């Protein structure tokens, strides 16, 4: 029986996931055959595979909490509110360097899927990194690129049609050269994808309570108060929140997964 780990996103709330995975590293617990991560969940899984206990927490506290990372003034100047370029450049070298070689070694022949949303068709894609460190890093960036905070998303121009597929399209129909956004927009909790991949025991690490209510009505009220640019940002937020409601309703009523 195949066992899957699904890690939800949630930005800095991912520090909870980091703590769970660190405890598993301490206990040498890793029975999984399939890993699926969305947004910060994909970063946490990569950290777990690298066997660097404490790394994910250090990155969250040291980079995402740094004032350089998020500045709304940049958005007023038509720049990126969230500087994912700076963030992921820091994972390439220095004190926040991520050991992709170790992650690749511990992954072995198991499956790793990083969830991202195609900005053109708004469909979810489950992408497997190649042997190149930068490719893996770009997929993590794409999975974390929330629209209008990181304005256009991440262009993935060299997707391998043998490694990258979406939930419904055949392997030879993966869009090449498109821009990709946060996986949470289309698949915030891809439990069904794990089941379709053959997993019959699915462990889900969530970053919100099981009774989470997105309150999309609140966002709709705010939409009327702001200009066109920020209205578009709020519309994207509403889309993600509504998608989350659907996924959470399906997951909570499904026997396919255990939630933690």
pLDDT at 79: 83
State phi, psi for 117 to the nearest 5 degrees: -110, 125
* Predicted local confidence at residue 170, as pLDDT: 35
Spatial neighbors of 129 by CB under 8 A, at least 6 apart, are 112, 114, 135, 136, 139, 163
What confidence tens digit (pLDDT) does each residue in 99-155 have?
999 999 999 999 999 999 998 888 899 999 987 899 999 999 999 998 878 888 899
pTM for this structure?
Answer: 0.78
Among 34, 25, 90, residue whose Cα is nearest residue 62: 90
pLDDT at 11: 82
User: Average pLDDT of 43-50?
Assistant: 96
Q: How far apart are CA 73 and CA 78, in angstroms?
A: 9
pLDDT of residue 258: 52
User: 48 or 76, which is more confident?
Assistant: 48
Q: Are the CB atoms for 89 and 134 separated by under 8 Å?
A: no
| Residue 156: pLDDT band with limits 50, 70, 90 | confident
Q: Is the pLDDT of residue 45 over 50?
A: yes
Predicted confidence band of residue 87 (pLDDT cuts 50, 70, 90)? very high
Would you state the pLDDT for residue 224? 47
**pLDDT value, residue 132:** 85
Instruction: Please give the average per-residue pLDDT across 39-52, as a whole number.
Output: 95
Residues serving a catalytic function are: 39, 182
Q: 10 Å Cβ neighbour count for 79?
A: 12
- Greater confidence (95 vs 256) lies with 95
Q: Using one digit for the tens of pLDDT, what is the confidence trace for 207-257? A: 877 665 544 444 444 444 444 444 444 444 444 444 444 444 445 544 454
């Amino acid at each position: 029986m195949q066992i899957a780990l699904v890690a939800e996103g949630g930005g800095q709330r991912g520090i909870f996931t980091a703590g769970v995975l660190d405890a598993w590293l301490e206990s040498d617990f890793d029975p999984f055959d399939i890993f699926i991560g969305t947004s910060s969940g994909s970063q946490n899984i990569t950290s777990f595979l690298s066997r660097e206990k404490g790394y994910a927490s250090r990155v969250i506290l040291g980079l995402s909490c740094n004032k350089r990372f998020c500045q709304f003034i940049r958005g007023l100047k038509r720049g990126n509110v969230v500087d994912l370029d700076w963030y992921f450049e820091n994972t390439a070298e220095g004190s926040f360097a991520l050991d992709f070689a170790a992650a690749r070694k511990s992954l072995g022949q198991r499956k790793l899927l990083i969830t991202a949303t195609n900005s053109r068709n708004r469909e979810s894609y489950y992408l497997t990194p190649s042997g190149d460190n930068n490719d893996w890093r770009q997929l993590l960036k794409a999975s974390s690129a929330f629209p209008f905070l990181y304005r256009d998303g991440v262009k993935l121009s060299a997707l391998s049609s043998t490694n990258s597929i979406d939930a419904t399209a055949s392997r030879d129909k993966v869009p090449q050269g498109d821009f990709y956004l946060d996986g949470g927009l289309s698949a915030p909790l891809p439990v069904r994808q794990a089941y379709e991949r053959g997993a019959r025991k699915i462990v889900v690490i969530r970053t919100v309570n099981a009774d989470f209510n997105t309150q999309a009505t609140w966002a709709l009220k705010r939409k009327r108060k702001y200009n066109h640019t920020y209205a578009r940002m709020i519309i994207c937020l509403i889309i993600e929140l509504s998608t989350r409601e659907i996924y959470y309703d399906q997951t909570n009523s499904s026997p396919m997964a255990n939630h933690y």
